Structure 1
Amino acid sequence: MVKVAVFSQFQKKKPLASLEVLLDVLKKQNIEVVVEANFYKGVTSKIKKEFATFSELDHSYDFLVSIGGDGTILRAITLVRDLNIPIVGINTGRLGFLATIQHEDIEAAIHSILEKKYSISERSLLTIESSEKNAEIESCNFALNEIAVSRKNTTSMITVETELNGEYLTSYWSDGLIISTPTGSTGYSLSCGGPVITPNASSLVLTPIAPHNLSARPLVIEDSTTITLKVSGREKKHLVSLDSRIATLSNKTTITIKKAPFTIKMIVLNNETFLDTLRKKLLWGEDKRN
């Protein structure tokens, strides 16, 4: 029997409507459904049937369905980790580069998945180590979109001393620095002027946040590169974010960032492509002259 995990962060009207459709479709196909425990606790009074719940995943699941936006998928990967469970996203958010299935397409999408009419897009991740022990980082030290350092409790800029494979690159005088995967290139990095990178490219991009040294520009590097950072500034501490998770580190802490030894598997339906998603989400070609 096929076993499916269902995850969401929201108990709002739109995600709940998609949840109800999804559960009906899965029930008709006689699929074992297990709902993430915290989400189920919030919606148990709003859905008619009882379902098993999970707090942690294991290898017994065939795939995970995320209901929400891309941020929900970023949370889902902290559950999937290195288990190689494919993820598919139902979009109830805004842009949705990762969560691409719309509400009205749920039934058709699930049928396509059960009929194996999809491909797997393997997405690289970043890992982080720091010379200062930090519980938030050590409990979940990887990110799918980006790892960023930024200022804390100050309006003053920080200096981010940066080395690539042990060789000094530069010291960014800025509000911070983003190290982004190809998946994250359409997120925070893009809004700071970084390039769009196709998901299968073996690259990372370093994008400074509001740099005051105006010659500093986003830099694309090989994803085999080891990146070492040290932050200094007027305040004694700075922030480190891993996707949407935030930790605080002391200045002069050595931060080491590199490609993770595992990937996240995203389900891509046969009628979807990254370039098609770019045109839809970023409105490329939306010009009267076209």
Structure 2
Amino acid sequence: QTATGVRKLAKQLGRATIHIRVGSILIVTKARDNSLVYLTRELTEWILGENPGIIVYVDAKLEHSKRFDALGIIAKNPQNYGSKLKYWTPQLTVSCPDAFDLVITLGGDGTVLYASGLFQGTVPPVIPFSLGSLGFLTNFPFEKYKLHLKRVFEHGINVNLRMRFTCTVYQADGTRTVRQQVLNELVIDRGPSPFISMLELYGDSHLLTIVQADGLILSTPTGSTAYSLSAGGSLVHPEIPAISVTPICPHTLSFRPMLLPDSMSLKVVVPKHSRAMAWVSFDGRNRVQLKSGDYVTVTASQYPFPTVVRKKTDYFDSVSRSLHWNVRQKQKPLSNNASDSKK
């Protein structure tokens, strides 16, 4: 029901332009990247100057940064900027997600994934600006941030509700240890063990298969361009409601990647007779050890990740730009070949 409800909402929002009243903006960037700190300052100053009523939240690590120079920003308009420039922490985003009307990310796909991890419940609309090395998710060029943000403030936004997973880790006795929202993928692998992983994969409480491989990737459509792709998984458009199941180096020639419906509830178990333990990671972070009998459940989350759409061909533009998808020299017409042969 959760997957079906999110799917219907995504279709409705995908066709509509949403006018949002932006009262507060959260800027997510790499606080330790000097070049990005200067750009964060530039963006912050512009928003405060052009939109006096908007509160801008920046990373708390920048409060005392000499490069960001918060006091220098406030000094330009102490009466307004002093109350409008604020600082966020991961604790604030988890406890008060409704405090933000819009999220701006400056960086690459890793920054977008980090922003997803900050919100373990409801997520505000996210507009990702490209300033990183990889940009499947960052279709907005930073050089034109003024144009794009003015359009958001004045004309509204179109959003793509990207599926996330709710991943929960349980010990063998049923004790819950970890719950995490995942935008890209959940990976279970053998870690440092020299033995092959043995994992039982269940769908809606039925045993689907026993995985004997280096590991298993369960990815969202968004994550289909990441680790899953490297392991031989298929590209999946973000509007397709599917869970991608991709083995990592399976010890069989017949275990091919597969797409499952997003309505299916999956469970991956480390069987008690397995020779080795396993490790699970969430979007490449927070690795947790799985002992014999431990298991992980994966379901479509009721909290999708809304990214602002630049244009309808965003997905194809990103795979063409980042992967050079179907790039090939065009075939010459027969007329040219015939004339060449006569010469």
Q: TM-score, normalised by structure 2?
A: 0.77
Per mean C-alpha deviation after superposition, the further-off stretch among 157-166 and 20-29 is: 20-29
Q: Give the gaps of 5 or more residues in structure 1.
A: none
Contact 1:146 1:184 in 2 (8 A): yes
Tell me which of 273, 281, 289 is aligned to 1:241: 281
Identify the range of structure 1 (7-16 vs 81-90) with the bigger mean alpha-carbon deviation.
7-16
CA distance in 2, matches of 1:242, 1:45: 34
Matched, 1:279 2:320: yes
**What is aligned with 1:127?**
166
Give RMSD over aligned pairs: 2.0
Partner secondary structure for residue 184 of structure 1: helix
Instruction: Deviation per CA, 1:181-212: give whole Å up to 9, x if none.
Output: 11111111111111111111111110001111
**Distance change >3 Å, CA 169–CA 177, structure 1 → 2:** same
Task: State the AA in 2 paired with 1:83.
Answer: T
Deviations 1:79-136 (A, max 9, x none): 233233111112222221112222322222222221235311101111122331465x
Aligned residue pairs total 284
Give me the identity figure in percent.
Answer: 26
Deviation of 1:268 after TM superposition, in Å, equals 1.3
* Structure 2 residues not aligned, in runs of 5+: 1-21, 75-84, 332-343
Q: Verify: 1:213 aligned to 2:252, yes or no.
A: yes
**Runs of 4+ with deviation above 6 angstroms:** none
- 1:64-213 alignment runs, 5 A limit: 64-116=103-155, 118-132=157-171, 133=175, 135=177, 137-138=178-179, 141-213=180-252
Deviations along 1:150-204, one digit per CA (max 9) or x if unpaired, are 1122232111111111222111111100111111111111111111111111111
Higher-strand-fraction structure: 1
CA distance in 1: counterparts of 2:169 and 2:120, whole angstroms: 20
**Partner SS for 2:329:** coil
The answer to whether the Cα contact below 8 Å between 1:82 and 1:264 also exists between their aligned partners in 2 is no
Equivalent residues in 2 for 1:254-273 (5 A)? Answer: 254-270=295-311, 273=314
2:31/2:59 contact within 8 Å kept:
no
Q: Determine whether 1:47 maps to 2:88.
A: no
Contact 1:172–1:213 (CA<8 Å) still a contact in 2? no
Find out whether 1:13 has 2:47 as its counterpart.
no
Q: Report the secondary structure of 2:246's partner residue.
A: strand
From 15, 32, 43, the equivalent of 1:22 is: 43
Per the alignment, residue 56 of structure 2 pairs with: 33
TM-score (norm 1): 0.90
Q: Which has the larger radius of gyration?
A: 2
Instruction: Supply the distance in 2 between the matched residues of 1:16 and 1:161 (Cα, whole angstroms).
Output: 46
